[in-house]
Structure 1
C-alpha cells in the first residue's frame, strides 16, 4: 500500500501511468517521451532509471536519471523528493536539464552536495512553431543526410557540440557513443544539412520525435559562412520537413544570450512559450 506521498523507481508495468504524465506536456517532455516510447521503463534499455513521485496513490511527477537528470512535471514537493534521492545516490549524470523552475529548485537543493557546476544556463527560452515560415524561403539545398555521408557530417557535429557544451564529445570513449547517436539520427532520416564540395555548410537534427511534438537540436553554420542568414533559410527548410513528416508541433530551446539565434528563429516562425535550464558538469 502506497503511503500518502511516495517516491520509487518505476518498473515496466508502470509504463501507462508514466506516459500519461509525459504526454500531459508533450512539448516540454518530448526528449524523454521519445525515449520512453521506444525503450519503455526497463533501465537497461532506457539508459537510466525513471523515478516516480506519488501522492494519494497516484503518479504525479517523474524524474529521468541517466546521462541527464531531468525533472518532469515536477511539483515543488516532488522536486524535494527527487533531490533527496539524487543526493543520497550521488551524482551519476553529466547535466541537469529541464523546465527552468523545477530544474532551478532541483539545482538549489543539490548544489551544496554536487557543486560547483562547470556551467549553469539558467534561462534557455523554449520556442515552438506549428506552421511553416511565411516570411523566410526554405533553403532548397538543405536535405536529409545520407548514410554514406557520415564522414562529412561528423566533423560538423563535433564542432557544434564542442562550441555549445564546451567540451568535445570525443573525450571519454573516443567518440563511440556520440558517433552512434549521429548515425542513429542519420539512419532515421532526422539529420539535415546543406553540403557543398563534401563540406557541411549548415546542419540541424530532429533530436527527439513523438506523435505530438518534435525537437530540433544541433543547429550549426560553418564559421566561414556565418552572417549570410543561412541559419534562417536552413531552419525554414528543417521546419518544413519536420511539420510535413514528423509532428504537428516543432520545438527547440536556445541560450538566452544568443540574441542572433533567437531573432533568427523568430523570423522563421518560432515563438517563445517557456524556458529550460541546464546545469553542466
Structure 2
C-alpha cells in the first residue's frame, strides 16, 4: 500500500525485479543502487535503512536510497522534491546526499531549511566511464592486495580518506569499522595496489559492482610520489583487471577542481557521461 499521497513507499524484496529494471535505465550511473539492491534483496535489515520508491499508475518510476547516504535513482526534479518532502518527516539520518547533480540539487533545496548547514558541498563532479581498453600502458606491478599488505594499505586508506573528505575515518572511534571495510574490499578481490620496496605507491578500490559496471574509489598516490605517472599507469592496470574479471564498464566520479586527477583519467581513456554532486554533513 502506498503510504503518502505522492505514491512513495519503502521497497522490499517483492519489488526487486521492478527496481532492477529501473536501475537498468542507466546502469553505470546507478551502479551503487543496483549493487545495494542485489546484495540486500531490498531487505531493510540488510540495507541498514530503506529504499524508497515512487510510483505512477502502479509503475516504479524513481527511487531513493536512504542509509548512510541519500542517493536518488532515476529521479526527475519532481521526484526529488517528493523524496525531500518525505525526508523532512524523519529528520536527517544520513551523512551525505550524493548522485546526479540536478536530483541532488533539488533534494538539498528541499531539506536545507531543516537539516542545517552542511560541512561541505561539491556541485560539479564529473562522472567518468571507461568501456574499452585503456589508452595508456598498464603498470604490470599493480596487483590485488592481501592480508600481508594491511600494515601498508590501511594507513594509505586513512590518508586518502582524510585528504578527500576532510575528516579522518577514525574520528569518533571509527577505526575498527573502517579497518573492517578495508579488509572486506581486500577479501572480495576489490583492492588493488603497487608497492615499491615494500612501500605502497598507488592504490585504488572497487566500491561497488553490478553485472554492468564497477565503480572505483580511493585512488591515491603518496604526495612525494605524485607527478611520476603512477596514477595513470595504475588506473590503466586497475581498469584492465576490473573489466576482465569484475564488470565490463569502469566508472568513477571526481572533484571538478582536481585537475591532476582529471588529466590522469582522461589519459587513461575515461570520458565524462554525467555530473554528480555531493552534500556532506
Band of TM-score, shorter chain: over 0.9
Report the 3-state secondary structure (helix = DSSP H, G, I; strand = E; otherwise coil) of the residue aligned with 1:192. strand
> Structure 1: where are the runs of 5+ without partners?
none
Unaligned runs of 5+ in 2: none
1:213 deviates by 0.7
Q: Structure 2 CA distance, aligned partners of 1:168 and 1:51?
A: 30
Task: Judge conservation of contact 2:130–2:270 (CA < 8 Å) in 1.
Answer: yes
Q: Distance in 1 between matches of 2:158 and 2:68?
A: 18
Query: 8 Å contact 1:4–1:55 — kept in the other structure?
Result: no
Equivalence for 1:57: 58
Please give the alpha-carbon distance, in whole angstroms, between the structure 2 residues aligned to 1:124 and 1:117: 17
Q: Is the aligned partner of 1:202 residue 2:195? A: no
Q: Output the CA distance in 1 between the equivalents of 2:95 and 2:174.
A: 17
Residue 173 (1) aligns with residue 173 (2): yes
| Aligned counterpart, 2:260 | 260
For residues 104 and 177 of structure 1, the distance between their equivalents in structure 2, rounded to whole angstroms, comes to 30
| Deviation (angstroms), 1:182 | 0.9
Task: Report deviation, 1:196.
Answer: 2.3
Q: Deviations over 1:12-59 (max 9, x none)?
A: 211111111122211111112112111111111112200010111111
Partners of 1:89 and 1:181 in 2: how far apart?
28
- Whole-Å Cα distance in 2 between the matches of residues 47 and 202 of structure 1? 32
How far apart, in 2, do the equivalents of 1:56 and 1:26 lie? 24
TM-score, normalised with respect to structure 2: 0.96
What's the counterpart of residue 106 of structure 1? 107
Match of 1:42 in 2: 43
Instruction: Show the counterpart of 2:243.
Output: 243
TM-score of the pair, normalised by structure 1: 0.96
Count residues with an aligned counterpart: 280
In the alignment, which residue of structure 1 is the partner of 2:13?
Answer: 12
Cα distance per residue 1:141-182 (max 9 Å; x no partner): 111101222222100000000000001101133322211111
Alignment partners' CA distance in 2, 1:66 and 1:12: 17
Tell me, yes or no, if the aligned pair for 1:5 and 1:57 is still in contact at 8 Å.
no
The 1-side partners of 2:25 and 2:187 are apart by 29
Matched, 1:22 2:23: yes
Q: CA RMSD in A?
A: 1.3
> C-alpha distance in 1, partners of 2:209/2:48?
17
Q: Give the Cα separation in 2 of the matches to 1:82 and 1:232.
A: 39
Q: Residues 68 and 94 of structure 1 are in contact (CA less than 8 Å); yes or no, is this contact kept in structure 2? A: yes
Distance (whole Å) between structure 1 residues aligned to residue 204 and residue 212 of structure 2:
20
CA offsets per residue over residues 230-271 of structure 1, 9 Å max, x none?
110110110110111111111110000011111110010101
CA distance in 2, matches of 1:206, 1:154: 15
Q: Is the 8 A contact 1:5 1:56 kept in 2?
A: no
Q: Output the CA distance in 2 between the equivalents of 1:77 and 1:18.
A: 19
